[in-house]
Structure 1
Amino acid sequence: MPSLYVHVPFCVKKCNYCAFYSEPLQRSKVEGYLTSLNREADLRQQKVQEGMSTLFIGGGTPTALNEEELDTLLSIINSNFKFKDSAEKTMEANPGTLTTEKLQTLRKQGINRVSLGVQSLNDDLLRQIGRIHRSEEVKDAVRLIREAGFKNLNLDLMFGLPGQNLADWRDTLEETLRIRPEHISVYGLMVEEGTPIALNKELIANLPDDDTQAELYHLTREILGKAGYQHYEISNYALPGYECQHNLGYWRRMEYLGIGPGAVSCLKNRRFKNFEDIFLYEKMLSKWELPVDSKENEFLSKREQMVELLILGLRLKDGINLPQFKNEYGADLFELYPAVLERYLKAGVLRIEDGSLLLKPEYWFVANGVLQEFV
């Protein structure tokens, strides 16, 4: 049973670090987007009659839509796709874009998890990275979310920001713990080519060095771990029972369907992506044609599938179950990468425990350097 991702490409203002596809919010564009999304959902649902395991609505900023638009968006999803009764259904939100009425609409339409884009609780750092909210608005948003009855809240945080130091980051983490969300995602800043932050020499010169970034990462593990959060994936922490089921599906290489401009799907080992262009997206769907970019359409070979599972699985605390891997692919992982695995096992970077291959947590901060050897 695949998961469903819905891309809402509108933002009030694009953040200085963001490389995801988005468009400036214009009410006239939203109407055309929703009409086209309904058509795509109608075409796609015919291929996923078994239903969807989870829902994640991201962007962009989905909650930049008004109450009526959100209601239409969720009606499109619910009328075209079936979900199991206990399905996790997440919507991304930004502080400053939430109201009681919007949250009531989300609840009425079955959303049961909110992922709030906070990034920092330091107002100076928020200004530097182009966020439209300030720390006080985070607290207001959390109050509204809780008053609306949501019992599953994620906060997105970001470390490695220009000028950020250990004291700033500790303050953000401690303030986050006072909020006590069920889930916390913690990402290191990625400076993407062409983004405003990448073009700002002053900000680039003020980025924390590698040693400081490592200290920020390990401080996160220490503080959140002591507070009862389980570090179940390189960038994710959860109170027991609140791990993000949608993202676990990605890391375990489960199938997923993406709809909306720029959305990516992987079904029956074919990965394809919709056009990152709302005009082309709407033009194709006006003719009832699927808006897939032919340049972003590939079939994954068996070896590519195995490599992908290896790279994604080692991000998880539970690692890769070796008997399951062999049963799934008819291949022994140690026959595929004998030299690399032996070297990292001897060095204590990897270990085998209860039949699973694990990347030791103390090496998670440098995981990309390890994982790229399997590409």
Structure 2
Amino acid sequence: MHSLYIHIPFCTSRCRYCNFYFETGWSPRIMQRTLEGILQESRRHYHPGFFSARQLKTIYIGGGTPSTVPPDQFDSFLRQLSENLRRTDPSWNPGHLREFCVECNPESLSQALLEVLHNHGVSRISLGVQCFQDDLLHTLGRRATRGHALDALNLLSGFWKGDFNVDLITGIPGQTRQNLLADLDTAREFDPAHISVYSLTIEPRTPLEQYIRAGLAPLPEQEYDTLWFIAHDYLETHGYTNYEISNFARPGAESAHNLSYWAMTPYIGLGPGAVSTLPTGNPRQPAIRTTNPDIFAYSPPSRPLGDYTPHREHLSPWELLADHILTATRTRRGLSRSLLNTRFSLDLPSGRGFPPAMDDLVLRAIRAGAWTEEWIDSPDALSLTSKGRFAHNAVILDLLSSLSELIQNFSLLSTWP
């Protein structure tokens, strides 16, 4: 079982808070060549004896802004991608997938694009609204306006037959409790089955960081935290479960693709800047992580397609275990003792509780409100409260340190996945 991520790096403009890999100022020729490069890369990954489409459970096309690709061009790309997948499994079709998701921005969503996506089996749209306040959208450097967002949501509500997700942001400089609640009310009017609420991070070397250095006032830390918990409580009250740090869904509408990441299943990344993590079968180096170069090395017109070398990193069992803890504890389901035993031969004790060093840490964290006293789904799992997930990195660093001390005296092996 594995997932496929396709990175389309093109954006019409730069959002001031974004530190993902993207390109602006591209030409139609560069876009076409990059899409051709992604298709060629898919043929290298999907061939008999390596991976076949039969193993594929989810596809996610992100960016960048995939909806900047014109509908006719997207239609051709998705048709050729399906042909490549069928070469490894003639019976494959998108209906076999648990989920096929494409990210879209409000200003570039159209009925023609939705028709193309529907015809190729896309089952979910992730719409990057971020907020409905024009002044805050300007602060973020978003190209879309409130009008664009409302038009896109009306289009999805009236035409789209699959699921859709609405992305929102809290902690924007100048954001108030009143306009956050108004944004949540507006989003809920369109009845999305899934809403993501990201707490704004001021990333180094972004335009937003430069604006703050130049005098733009960030929200006070207490208000910054309060806004996210207002959104959390609002959504939980209205039937959306906070199943991951920033994600809320009605029952059964959780993102299958993202859940596969957080469960640490193998995934293939195609496109400029995309990352793959794949098993090796070697218990001492159980995974290899590859990272593609940027578009200038990935698909330059001066060289044949595919003439690049991705960065390769072999992961040790400890590195893979740390990644697993970081991802699993993002979710409400939490960290499974039996899965740790299976994947890493840790031989953790049965019954409720973890080894003493971990138990002491967890008890301290429970008293601080970071860990649940009740265990989610089964006594096999250790999970964070909403408060703990919000402060995820700090809490997990303590757990990793404790676990590192427990395993330092024996050789850790892994049978991942």
TM-score normalised over the length of structure 1: 0.93
Aligned to 1:10: 10
Is 1:38 the counterpart of 2:56? The answer is no
Cα drift, residue 20 of structure 1: 1.1
Of the candidates 248, 267, 270, which is equivalent to residue 288 of structure 2? 270
List per-residue Cα deviations over 1:22-70 (Å, max 9, x = no partner). 1124212111112211211111112311431101000111111111111
Aligned to 2:298: 281
Using a 3 Å threshold, how does the CA distance of structure 1 residues 157 and 347 change in structure 2: closer, same or farther? Answer: closer
Aligned to 2:335: 320
Q: Is the 8 A contact 2:370 2:389 kept in 1?
A: no
Is 1:303 the counterpart of 2:307? The answer is no
Gaps of 5+ in 2: 86-91, 280-286, 349-353, 402-417
Q: Indicate the RMSD between aligned Cα atoms, in angstroms.
A: 2.1
Q: How does 1:1-375 map to 2 (within 5 A)?
A: 1-24=1-24, 25-46=26-47, 47-49=50-52, 50-81=54-85, 82=92, 85-201=96-212, 205-268=216-279, 269-276=287-294, 278-283=295-300, 287=304, 289=306, 291-294=308-311, 297-331=312-346, 332=348, 334=355, 337=358, 340-345=361-366, 347=368, 349-350=370-371, 351=373, 353=375, 354-373=379-398, 374=400
Cα drift, residue 362 of structure 1: 3.0
Gaps of 5+ in 1: none
SS at match of 1:132: coil
Question: Aligned partners of 2:309 and 2:80: how far apart in 1?
Answer: 20
Using a 3 Å threshold, how does the CA distance of structure 1 residues 192 and 346 change in structure 2: closer, same or farther? Answer: closer
Cα drift, residue 304 of structure 1: 1.5
Q: Which runs of 4+ in 1 moved over 6 A?
A: none
Question: Aligned partners of 2:324 and 2:357: how far apart in 1?
Answer: 13
Using a 3 Å threshold, how does the CA distance of structure 1 residues 230 and 84 change in structure 2: closer, same or farther? Answer: same
Cα drift, residue 285 of structure 1: 11
Cα drift, residue 204 of structure 1: 6.2
Q: Which moved more, 1:161-170 or 1:284-293?
A: 284-293
Q: Is the 8 A contact 1:258 1:264 kept in 2?
A: yes
Cα drift, residue 146 of structure 1: 2.9
Question: Aligned partners of 1:337 and 1:84: how far apart in 2?
Answer: 43
Aligned length, in residue pairs: 372
Q: Is the 8 A contact 2:106 2:127 kept in 1?
A: yes
Aligned to 2:405: none
Using a 3 Å threshold, how does the CA distance of structure 1 residues 322 and 283 change in structure 2: closer, same or farther? Answer: same
Structure 1 vs Structure 2: percent identity of aligned residues? Answer: 30
Using a 3 Å threshold, how does the CA distance of structure 1 residues 245 and 285 change in structure 2: closer, same or farther? Answer: farther
Question: Aligned partners of 1:248 and 1:309: how far apart in 2?
Answer: 12
Question: Aligned partners of 2:304 and 2:29: how far apart in 1?
Answer: 20
Question: Aligned partners of 2:65 and 2:152: how far apart in 1?
Answer: 14
Letter in 2 for 1:95: P
Q: Is the 8 A contact 2:37 2:305 kept in 1?
A: no
Using a 3 Å threshold, how does the CA distance of structure 1 residues 109 and 84 change in structure 2: closer, same or farther? Answer: closer
Letter in 1 for 2:208: I
SS at match of 2:397: helix
SS at match of 2:114: helix
Question: Aligned partners of 1:243 and 1:178: how far apart in 2?
Answer: 19
Q: Is the 8 A contact 1:53 1:84 kept in 2?
A: no
